[in-house]
Amino acid sequence: MNKRKYYPAAVALYITYFILGISATIVGQYKQEFAAAWGAERLVDGTFEISRVMAVIAAIGLGRLVAFPVAGPFSDSFGRKKSALVGMAFFIMFFVGLPFTTNTAAAYILLMCSGIGNSFLDTSVTPSCMEIFSENGAVANLFTKFSTSVGQFVLPIVIIFFSNAGITYHTLFFTVAVLVIADTIAILLLPLPDTKGKAAKAAKKKIKISPALLLLIGIGFTSSATFMIFMNCNQELGKLYGLAKPQMIQSFYSIGIITAILTTSVLVKKGIKPIRILVAYPTTAFLVLCMMYFIRIPQICLVGGFLMGFFAAGGVLQLTTSTANELYPEHKGTITAMVMFASSVSNYVVINVAGFLTKTGGAEGPRYILLFNMAVTFLGILLAVILNVKYGNEIEK
C-alpha cells in the first residue's frame, strides 16, 4: 500500500502535538496573571499565592483520566480521524474559554477539557503515525514529542515578545485557537489509513494483560511524573536560586527535548533497543535532579533544564508507549490509552503533591519538590531494570 498519500495528514497530526505542547505549559507560564484573575491572595512581596493555580493545572491530568477509558476503544472502533476531531473540539473550548475565566471552578473545567482533548489526540495520533510509518513506528512516535517540544520552546519566546509589546495573554490564547481551528479543518479533509478491518478483527480478541505490560504502564506513570513535575515547577526553583529570567528554563528544557528526539531517533535506527533507553535516560535524569538539589547557583537551572529536557522528557514516555503497542499490535488505541492513563494519574497526583509542597514548604518548597521528583524517578529506574532483566528477551522478539 502506498502510504505517501497519508503524509499530509501526518503533518496535520504532528501539528496537534505542537498545540498540545502549548496547552500543557501555557497556564504554568502565566501563573501570576491567572492567580490574579482567579482572586488569589496577594503575598507580602506583592506577588500572588499560586497554589490554587497549581491545583487547576492538575485538572489536565484529571481530564485525561476521565477520557482515556473511552478514548482508546473509541479510536479503535470508530477510527483515528474521529478521535482526533473530538480532541481538537475540546482544545477549541479550552483556548477560547480560559481567557474569560474569573474563578478557579470555571478554569478547572476548561483545564479538564484540555486533558480530555489530549486523551483523544493521544489515542489517534500515536496509532496513526505508527500505522503510516509502520517500518519506523518507534521513531514516528518519538516525533510526536518533538512536535510538543517545538511548541514548548516557542511559547516562552512568544510570551516575552507579547509582554514587551504590552499584549495580554488573552490575545495569545485566541491566536492559538485560530491555529487549532485551521488544523482541525485540515484533519477533517485529509485522508488517514482505514482501520475498520483491523478494529473488527481486534474486537474478537481480548487483551491479556502481561507482566511486561504492567511494568510499562508503571514506567508510563513514573516517566510522566519526572518531566511533569519539572516542567511545571522549574520557574520557582529558578527564582529561589536567583535566576534573572526563570522563564528561559523552559526554552532550555525544550531545546533539550528536541536534541534528545533527534539523538534517540538515530540510536533506535542504529539498533539500540528502546527498553535499554528506558533505563539509561531516567538514571541520568535522577543524577541531574541530585545535581540541581546540591548545587545552588542560577546557572544550574539552565543546565539542568536542558538535561532534564533531554533525559526526562526526550521520548521516554513515547518509547514506553511504542514498546507496549508492539506487544499488542491489533489494539494500538486501547494500549496507548492504558499507558497514557497511567501518565494521566501521574499528572494529576504529582502536580497536586507539588502544589502542596509549594504551599507548605515556604521558601524551600522548590527544593522539596526536587526531592519528591528524585524519589519518583528512582522508582521508574527500578521498574525499567526489572523489565529489562525479566522480560527483555520477550520484548525484543
pLDDT in tens, 178-193: 999 999 999 999 999 8
* Confidence at residue 351, expressed as pLDDT on a 0 to 100 scale: 81
Radius of gyration of the chain (CA): 20
Percent of the chain with pLDDT over 70: 96
**Nearest-angstrom CA–CA distance, 187 and 117:** 15
pLDDT at 45: 82
Whose cell is 479533509? That residue is: 189
Q: Which residues contact 291 (CB under 8 A, 6 or more apart)?
A: 300, 304
What's the DSSP call for residue 39? Answer: T
Q: Give the pLDDT confidence of 96-127 residue by residue, as tens digits.
A: 999 999 999 999 999 999 999 999 999 999 88
Distance CA 7, CA 129 (A): 9
CA geometry: angle at 115 spanning 114 and 119, to 5°?
120
Q: Which long-range contacts (CB under 8 A, 24 or more apart) does 130-135 make?
A: 130/322, 130/325, 130/332, 131/80, 131/193, 131/195, 131/332, 132/3, 132/6, 132/7, 132/9, 132/10, 132/192, 132/193, 133/3, 133/10, 134/3
Instruction: Give per-residue pLDDT as tens, 65-85.
Output: 899 899 988 998 888 999 999
Mean model confidence pLDDT for the chain: 90
- Count of positions (residues) in the chain: 397
Q: What is the pLDDT of residue 203?
A: 52
Buried b (16+ CB within 10 A) or exposed e, 327-351: bbebbbbbbbbbbbbbbbbbbbbbb
- Cβ-based neighbour number of residue 293 at 10 Å: 18
**Max Cα separation, the chain?**
65
Domains along the sequence of the chain with CATH: 4-396 (1.20.1250.20)
Instruction: Encode pLDDT of 124-179 as tens digits.
Output: 998 899 889 988 888 898 999 889 888 988 888 899 899 899 999 999 999 999 99
Query: 206-216: per-residue pLDDT in tens?
Result: 778 899 999 99
Q: What is the DSSP letter of 165?
A: T
Give the span between the Cα atoms of 94 and 98, in whole angstroms.
Answer: 6
C-alpha distance from residue 108 to each of 58, 105, 112, 322 (Å): 9, 5, 6, 31
Q: What is the separation of C-alpha 233 from the centre of its chain, rounded to a whole number of angstroms?
A: 15
- Cα–Cα–Cα angle for 5, 6, 11, rounded to 5 degrees: 125
Chain segment 308-343, per-residue pLDDT in tens: 999 998 889 999 999 998 888 878 888 989 998 998
Q: What torsion, rounded to 10 degrees, do the Cα atoms 104, 109, 110, 113 define?
A: 150
